[in-house]
């Protein structure tokens, strides 16, 4: 992990030094409430908002993104977003300290490093700030770093030391969401609108009615097809849940996401949600498999895996990051075309 983290830091500092113009002009605090903002989305599953007046170069890539408050290349108001695949959890003390050491030992004069735990829109982050001097120009840098799909994202904002753009950075970070969260909000709004126009009455008396959280440890039958009428999943369609001697088998049908990795990862997020929020941590083993419609119109399996009790407990206790679940699963099988 160290090599990959340091590679990310080296990449950031090199691009930072070449991306920043050293022309110095007086800057003052500005009122962000007067700005119009627009939403941008990335290929690695995030959205964020920046002022419409900011400039975006044509040289941005899918995983390295710049926006400039002033002219392109200026270090006074430069927003930089980088995504890199790494193993592990950047929020652990060891990984974050390694990340911080890479920033502070990048070959430039740095001082004043501070960090804190932070959360925005249910995304857990590490927030940091420090000072840097490049070619006799002093910059201050604010940033956040967090886990995202199969890697980490760093969002950093540089400005001249005397500039006061803190409100811009705070507003941008508060707008950061996972595209999963956006989809959930959209679906919730649809449900709310439907509830307002057509209230639903349920007068049935089934024992499983209104159950969306289960305790499989109390089941005294060797086999049971679970009533899933009140259970929803984060991604795709839930087809069936079957209990058999302590093992719970979940079958879903999914749709392609914006890339193959996201298509795979949505299954991990679905399982994590079931374990953390719907009582699936109470089973001894969880078997999951998902199907999808193929180009020829046939339905076929695209991913399957098993979780033993130890992995289920670690996932429930947040010792495993959702998008890393595939590294811990047993009998993991992924459709070859999704691994391209």
pLDDT tens for 18-62 read: 445 445 444 444 556 578 999 998 888 889 999 999 999 988 888
3 state DSSP class of 299: strand
For residue 98, what are the contacts with CB-CB under 8 A and spacing of at least 6?
Answer: 1, 2, 5, 6
State the pLDDT at residue 40.
Answer: 92
Residue 98 has pLDDT above 70, yes or no: yes
Averaged over 308-334, what is the pLDDT?
92
The pair phi, psi for residue 325, each rounded to 5°, is: -60, -35
3 state DSSP class of 333: strand
Q: Is the pTM of this model over 0.75?
A: no
Q: Residue-wise over 87-99: b if at least 16 C-beta within 10 A, else e?
A: ebbbbeeebbebb
| DSSP state at residue 55 | B
State the pLDDT at residue 307.
Answer: 97
H/E stretch holding 66 reads: strand 64-68
pLDDT per residue as tens digits for the range 79-97: 999 888 777 788 999 888 8
pLDDT per residue as tens digits for the range 240-271: 999 999 999 999 999 887 678 888 989 999 99
CATH 3.40.1000.10 in the chain: give the residue spans. Answer: 2-23+32-178
C-alpha 48/C-alpha 217 separation (Å) is 42
Q: Which CATH number fits domain 2-23+32-178: 3.40.50.720, 3.40.1000.10, 3.40.50.300, 3.90.1570.10?
A: 3.40.1000.10
């Amino acid at each position: 992990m160290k090599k990959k983290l340091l590679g990310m830091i080296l990449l950031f500092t090199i691009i930072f030094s070449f991306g920043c113009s050293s022309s110095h002009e007086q800057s003052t605090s500005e009122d962000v409430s007067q700005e119009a903002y627009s939403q941008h989305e990335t290929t690695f599953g995030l959205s964020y908002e920046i002022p419409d007046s900011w400039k975006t170069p044509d040289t941005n890539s899918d995983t390295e993104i710049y926006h400039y408050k002033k002219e392109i290349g200026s270090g006074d108001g430069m927003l930089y977003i980088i995504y890199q695949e790494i193993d592990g959890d950047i929020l652990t003390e060891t990984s974050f300290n390694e990340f911080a050491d890479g920033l502070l030992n990048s070959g430039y004069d740095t001082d004043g490093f501070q960090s804190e735990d932070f959360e925005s829109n249910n995304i857990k982050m590490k927030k940091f700030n420090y000072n840097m001097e490049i070619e006799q120009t002093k910059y201050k840098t604010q940033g956040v770093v967090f886990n995202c799909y199969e890697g980490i994202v760093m969002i950093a904002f540089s400005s001249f030391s005397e500039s006061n753009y803190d409100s811009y950075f705070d507003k941008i970070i508060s707008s950061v969401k996972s595209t999963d969260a956006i989809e959930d909000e959209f679906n919730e709004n649809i449900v709310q609108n439907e509830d307002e126009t057509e209230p639903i009455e349920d007068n049935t008396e089934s024992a499983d009615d209104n159950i969306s959280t289960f305790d499989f440890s109390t089941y005294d039958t060797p086999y049971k097809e679970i009533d899933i009428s009140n259970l929803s999943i984060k991604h795709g369609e839930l087809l069936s849940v079957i209990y058999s001697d302590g093992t719970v088998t979940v079958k879903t049908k999914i749709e392609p996401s914006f890339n193959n990795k996201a298509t795979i990862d949505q299954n991990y997020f679905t399982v994590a949600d079931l374990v953390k929020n719907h009582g699936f941590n109470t089973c001894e083993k969880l078997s999951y498999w998902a199907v999808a419609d193929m180009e020829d119109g046939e339905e076929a399996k695209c991913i399957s895996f098993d979780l033993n009790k130890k992995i289920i407990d670690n996932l429930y206790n947040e010792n495993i990051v959702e998008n890393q679940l595939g590294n811990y699963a047993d009998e993991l099988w992924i459709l070859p075309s999704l691994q391209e």
